[in-house]
Amino acid sequence: MWGSVTATGRMGGGRPPDGRAGTTPGARGAGSVEGVTAADPSPVPDATGRAGPATHPHGRWYPWVVMAVVLAGSYLVVLNTTVLGVALPDIADGFGGSSGLDVDWVITSYLLAVVAAQPATAWLADRFGHKRLYLGCLGLFAVGSLLCAIAPTLPALLAARVVQGTGGGALMPLGMAMVLGVFPPHRRGLVLGIRGVAIMAGPALGPPIGGIIVTQASWRVIFAVLVPIAVVAVVLAARLLRDPGTRNHRPLDTAGWILAFVGISLVVVAARQAPSWGFTDPTTIAALVLGAVALGWLAVRSSRRAHPILELRLFTVPIFGLSLVMVWLITVVQFARLNFLPVELQVVRGATAQEVGLMLAPAAIGVALTMATGGWLADRIGARIPMVAGLSVLAFTTWQLATLTPETSVRWIVLVLLVQGLGTGLMRIPLNVAGMNALQNRYITHAAALRSLNRQVAGALATAVLAAILTAQIGVIAPQPATDAELLAAQEAYNRLFQVAFGFSLAALVGAVFMPGRDRMRQLQASRAAEYAADD
């Protein structure tokens, strides 16, 4: 039944892919991972694509209760991430630099804790159940937030951020798995769209809330206010979530967990620090090489184990694997806008931080306007059409950002960003739901954790690559042009960066053509519904 996913990440039991009959030659276990095989008892969906019962065993409103509880935890993670950015200067001033540590480690320490926690999400969910794991993560996040609020020194704050990140790391992938598990397959797109719109309130409200708190009170209050919210979320989760009690006590792949943490951490830290260390510095190169070696070793090792810490064989499922590759391509485009357009607007146009924030806001509004629609369309007509449409808009608007001049109208830039947001929202959820529907239900938690880690690495590397392109042209990311010639040189450098992003958007557009259309999506929905029926 759908409700059983709130306790375990595995639906229907069984071992992970083991290369038995029906698998793809040359890819160990790939065939038994994929959502639809010749042996799938797939009922034929009706004209709307529905398959399986329409009411959850715990009541028609229970899925929405799970959604509300999960959103509470998701808001904590998103607010914690977005609010803190504006507080870093005050944190640095508060500790006076006496520790000798860079205040940027306040962000990096949390990120490393997330990277450490997320690979074990599926194993922990299998062993303890989603409800207990969710409660534990929320409680750990609350304790970490309290320790951050009272930290007497910067090293103590970094240690508290590790505690906070260990709890918060699993909340996002765990939340997605819980939501996907309680809604029927033919509604996953719409539901993920609604969840996405709701979560977007965090990035929209985070910076202004953080600015007000830092200005009127202290950066410590930012962490303190998270504690009561987390406590309320724990109480709601304890009272409202159901736990069917099923467990899967598979062995912990400790060595794989260590390899995943070491490999991903080295790559992420090297990518984040490359602008300050130097892109060709031996430390940067060594960290990237060692990280790549660790991840390669992890991939080989995972392919030979029955119960790896990360089910990397999911990459061999064509639709899911393609969706992860497309995340990398789209991340480059999005990070060009999120990380480098604000700098361009300040350098070339002399805009203030507040003015830049107002200019970028329409992009978020556009995403919110079309995200639920994109998910609904994916449920009804498949992922291909909304993704091709959305990525076409994304490619067109990215090219417009690659042709800006110092005289370009601010209204035109705002309009381009609004339209880009509309396109991004239209394609984002279809990309997610197509990948998830392509996998058997028992791999939901594995896939959610893998997607989250994939996004972390993609974001770090995208930022590093784009920064390298920019510094190769003008030496720094944020120059201070003193003449018209220097101003034009800076504008040309930023335009070239967006030309590169445009190329990535075209590659993503090509990939969208191979995503499932209506018939294929209905087949996937029917297969997932049949698995739920078989578990009842």
What residues are paired with 439 via a beta bridge? Answer: 34
Which comes out higher in pLDDT, residue 324 or 57?
324
User: Is the residue at 89 inside a domain?
Assistant: yes
User: Is the residue at 418 inside a domain?
Assistant: yes
Please check the confidence at residue 425 and state whether its pLDDT lies above 70. Answer: yes
User: Is the residue at 30 inside a domain?
Assistant: no
Q: Are 428 and 383 in contact (CB under 8 A)?
A: no
User: Is the residue at 271 inside a domain?
Assistant: yes
Please check the confidence at residue 22 and state whether its pLDDT lies above 50. Answer: no
Please check the confidence at residue 199 and state whether its pLDDT lies above 90. Answer: no
Closest to 181 (Cα-Cα) out of 434, 516, 445: 445
Which pTM was predicted?
Answer: 0.81
pLDDT at 246: 62
Please check the confidence at residue 87 and state whether its pLDDT lies above 50. Answer: yes
Average pLDDT over residues 406-424: 94
Between CA 208 and CA 215, with CA 213 as vertex, the angle to 5 degrees is 95
User: Is the residue at 50 inside a domain?
Assistant: no
Q: Are 9 and 436 in contact (CB under 8 A)?
A: no
Let me know whether 392 and 419 are in one domain: yes
Task: State the CB neighbour count (10 A cutoff) for residue 483.
Answer: 8
What pLDDT digit, counting tens, does each position of 115-148 carry?
889 999 989 988 888 899 999 999 999 999 999 9
pLDDT at 475: 82
- State the chain's mean pLDDT as an integer: 83
> Which CATH number covers residue 203?
1.20.1250.20
Last residue of a domain, one of 217, 245, 273: 245
Q: How far is CA 11 from CA 16, 79, 533, in A?
A: 12, 32, 11
What's the length of the chain?
536
Q: How far is CA 192 from CA 182, 308, 320, 429, in A?
A: 12, 28, 17, 7
Last residue of a domain, one of 229, 245, 261: 245
Q: What's CA 30's distance to the chain center, in Å?
A: 24
Let me know whether 455 and 381 are in one domain: yes
- CA 226/CA 74 separation, integer angstroms: 12
Which positions ≥6 away from 382 have C-beta within 8 Å? 430, 434, 515, 516, 517, 518, 519, 520, 521, 522
Let me know whether 303 and 434 are in one domain: no
Q: Which residue has the tokens 């870093």?
A: 88
Let me know whether 300 and 320 are in one domain: no
Confidence category of residue 33, pLDDT binned at 50, 70, 90: low
Let me know whether 281 and 388 are in one domain: no
Task: Give me the DSSP letters along 348-382.
Answer: HH---HHHHHHHHHHHHHHHHHHHHHHHHHHHHH-
- CA 242/CA 518 separation, integer angstroms: 34
φ, ψ of residue 34 in degrees (nearest 5): -60, 145
Let me know whether 259 and 290 are in one domain: yes
Let me know whether 212 and 266 are in one domain: no
Please check the confidence at residue 320 and state whether its pLDDT lies above 80. Answer: yes
User: Is the residue at 267 inside a domain?
Assistant: yes
End-to-end CA distance of the chain: 5
Which two tokens mark 78? 């998103």
Confidence category of residue 18, pLDDT binned at 50, 70, 90: very low
Let me know whether 69 and 87 are in one domain: yes
- CA 37/CA 17 separation, integer angstroms: 13
Alpha carbon dihedral 463, 456, 288, 285, in 10-degree steps, equals 20
Average pLDDT over residues 22-47: 39
Let me know whether 285 and 384 are in one domain: no
Let me know whether 89 and 172 are in one domain: yes
Let me know whether 276 and 178 are in one domain: no
**DSSP class of residue 441?**
G
DSSP collapsed to 3 states, 385-399: HHHHHHHHHHHHHHH
Task: Give me the DSSP letters along 374-424.
Answer: HHHHHHHH-SHHHHHHHHHHHHHHHHHHTT--TTS-HHHHHHHHHHHHHHH
Please check the confidence at residue 373 and state whether its pLDDT lies above 80. Answer: yes
Domain count, the chain: 3
Last residue of a domain, one of 194, 229, 245: 245
Tell me the angle at which helices 171-182 and 62-84 cross, rounded to the nearest 10 degrees: 160
Average pLDDT over residues 400-428: 94
Please check the confidence at residue 311 and state whether its pLDDT lies above 70. Answer: yes
- CA 395/CA 4 separation, integer angstroms: 41
- CA 21/CA 43 separation, integer angstroms: 22
- CA 512/CA 430 separation, integer angstroms: 10
Let me know whether 234 and 370 are in one domain: no
- CA 375/CA 346 separation, integer angstroms: 35
For 74-88, 337-351, 485-499, which range has the lowest pLDDT when averaged over its residues?
74-88
- CA 441/CA 185 separation, integer angstroms: 10
Could you list the residue range(s) of the whole structural domain that residue 414 is in?
Answer: 315-536
User: Is the residue at 46 inside a domain?
Assistant: no
User: Is the residue at 113 inside a domain?
Assistant: yes
Which two tokens mark 449? 């954790």
